């Protein structure tokens, strides 16, 4: 079973292959930041510290929201703010293997 770990904590969750990160962790008692849970608001954004290749590719909706977040962060914090960060939405990202995440 794939595992989702939260960076900076000792929290590790075994999840089913193909589960959405937010749903999987919520079902196991972990409350991640969230908003609409539909991939439109971006409140559930996470940085994938390890295992980016262990997530299914982003959907059209997730890509649109991530583009808007990147633009907003760049305007607010400068172009280097996102360097080295792998943004995804916890409400849309499907697990295929072990990942380490950090809510933003």
Which pLDDT value is given to residue 79?
Answer: 85
pLDDT single digits (tens) 39-74: 999 999 999 999 999 999 999 999 999 999 999 999
Q: State yes or no: pLDDT of 33 exceeds 90.
A: yes
Q: Are 46 and 6 in contact (CB under 8 A)?
A: no
Q: Are 55 and 98 in contact (CB under 8 A)?
A: no
Domain ranges of the chain: 3-103
The reported pTM is: 0.94
CATH 3.10.110.10 given to domain 3-103: no
Question: Can you count the helices (H) and strands (E) in the chain?
Answer: 2, 5
- SS3 state at 72: helix
């Amino acid at each position: 079973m794939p595992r989702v770990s939260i960076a900076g904590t000792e929290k590790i969750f075994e999840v089913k292959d193909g589960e959405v990160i937010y749903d999987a962790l919520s079902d196991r008692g972990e409350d991640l930041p969230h908003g609409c849970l539909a991939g439109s608001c971006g409140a559930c954004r996470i940085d994938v510290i390890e295992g980016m290749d262990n997530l299914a590719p982003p959907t059209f909706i997730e890509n649109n929201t991530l583009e808007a977040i990147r633009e907003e962060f760049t305007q607010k914090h400068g172009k280097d703010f996102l360097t080295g960060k792998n943004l995804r939405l916890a409400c849309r990202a499907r697990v295929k293997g072990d990942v380490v995440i950090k809510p933003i």
